[in-house]
């Protein structure tokens, strides 16, 4: 499945609380621990550039690949707005061959879990290996099998309101959204978040209905996303509250949950020599004992 426009343009808003800075700190802590001093980083499944932008800002030369043109369009706009030079390539990480080497490869926020077949996982591991210089690091997280089986996924609702202050009534240069991605005092153009410039306010409601397929280690994460635009008031500080448009989209994201031994096997077959696992964002605690957050390096 590919992230389509309506979901892609809601993505940054839906994950506005995700701490990409902290995740990049974690990535850099791994570099340090393994005495790796990368200059170039390949970001597999870079999406809207959450990690790519921050890492580029920290001085790395970043190349991002994603198969969703809608996600990449947002990533490109954000990089341009932030004045960062990042190469974004549209492509499928199970099929592309870059014929280039990088010092590190990352693939964050469960991109590996989007590879639901053994064949696809093997291909991504192979791409990572052949894209790395000798001694380079491949860092990724994924859905933790133990976690999924012990805390079965349940239906959820997430609601995001875009504050009126960041949704002004007409599209002008001054329409900006404060964003941690471009640092203190700077902001991103509102168009990065999509949603149409005509509306004073927007509410995004995402309903998640998961279905578990234990035999195939897959959770079908079925999303129904409603984007409700409220009509604007002549005074940009006020919102009339009248619903002027409702967009509805459905996406089913099949997500593979993985277990340590199969990950080790895929990586070793691809030629990786050392495989270590860490709880998400915890560089000082090795192992994978399930404790509520299960991500794997």
Ligand X SMILES: C[S@@+](CC[C@H](N)C(=O)[O-])C[C@H]1O[C@@H](n2cnc3c(N)ncnc32)[C@H](O)[C@@H]1O
**Residues engaged in binding ligand X (CB under 6 A):** 2-3, 45-47, 50-51, 66-68, 71, 92-94, 108-111, 114
Min separation Cβ 65 and ligand X, Å: 6
How many residues would you count in the chain? Answer: 297
63 in Cβ contact with 32 (< 8 Å): no
Rank residues 86 and 230 by Cβ distance to ligand X and give the closer one: 86
Min separation Cβ 242 and ligand X, Å: 33
Alpha carbon distance 95, 84 (integer Å):
27
Rank residues 147 and 197 by Cβ distance to ligand X and give the closer one: 147
Q: Which residues pair with 283 in a beta bridge?
A: none
Min separation Cβ 53 and ligand X, Å: 10
Rank residues 66 and 200 by Cβ distance to ligand X and give the closer one: 66
Min separation Cβ 113 and ligand X, Å: 9
Number of CB atoms found within 10 A of residue 291's CB: 12
243 in Cβ contact with 229 (< 8 Å): yes
Min separation Cβ 54 and ligand X, Å: 11
Instruction: Please report, to the nearest 10 degrees, the dihedral formed by the alpha carbons of residues 240, 157, 249, 88 taken in order.
Output: 100
Angle between helices 69-82 and 50-57 in degrees, nearest 10: 30
Which residue has its beta carbon closest to ligand X? 47
Would you give the end-to-end CA distance of the chain in angstroms? 24
Rank residues 117 and 172 by Cβ distance to ligand X and give the closer one: 117
Min separation Cβ 243 and ligand X, Å: 29
Residue 291 gets which letter from DSSP? S
Rank residues 46 and 132 by Cβ distance to ligand X and give the closer one: 46
* Nearby residues of 269 by Cβ (< 8 Å), 6 or more positions away: 122, 125
Number of CB atoms found within 10 A of residue 76's CB: 16
12 in Cβ contact with 53 (< 8 Å): no
Rank residues 50 and 136 by Cβ distance to ligand X and give the closer one: 50
Min separation Cβ 246 and ligand X, Å: 25
Rank residues 120 and 245 by Cβ distance to ligand X and give the closer one: 120
């Amino acid at each position: 499945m590919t992230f389509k426009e309506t979901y892609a343009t809601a993505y940054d808003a839906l994950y506005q609380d995700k701490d990409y800075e902290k995740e990049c700190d974690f990535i850099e802590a791994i570099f340090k621990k393994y005495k790796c001093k990368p200059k170039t980083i390949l970001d597999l499944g870079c999406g809207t550039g959450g990690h790519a932008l921050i890492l580029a800002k920290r001085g790395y030369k970043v190349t991002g690949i994603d198969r969703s043109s809608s996600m990449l369009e947002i990533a490109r706009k954000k990089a341009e707005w932030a004045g960062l030079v990042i190469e974004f390539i549209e492509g499928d990480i199970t099929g592309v061959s870059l014929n280039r080497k990088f010092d590190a490869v990352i693939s964050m926020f469960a991109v590996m879990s989007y590879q639901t077949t053994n064949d696809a996982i093997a291909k991504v591991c192979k791409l990572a290996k052949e894209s790395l210089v000798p001694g380079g690091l491949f860092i990724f997280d994924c859905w933790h099998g133990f976690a999924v089986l012990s805390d079965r996924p349940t239906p959820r609702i997430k609601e995001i309101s875009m504050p009126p202050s960041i949704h002004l009534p007409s599209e002008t240069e001054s329409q900006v959204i404060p964003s941690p991605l471009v640092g203190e005092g700077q902001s991103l153009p509102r168009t990065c978040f999509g949603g149409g410039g005509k509306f004073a306010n927007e509410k995004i409601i995402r309903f998640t209905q998961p279905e578990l397929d234990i035999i195939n280690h897959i959770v079908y994460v079925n999303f129904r996303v409603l984007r409700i635009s409220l009509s604007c008031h002549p005074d940009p500080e006020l919102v009339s509250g009248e619903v002027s448009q409702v967009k509805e989209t459905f996406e089913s994201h099949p997500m593979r949950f993985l277990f340590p031994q199969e990950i080790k096997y895929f990586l070793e077959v691809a030629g990786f020599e050392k495989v270590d696992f860490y709880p998400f964002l915890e560089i000082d605690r090795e192992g994978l004992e399930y404790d509520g957050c299960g991500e794997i390096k």
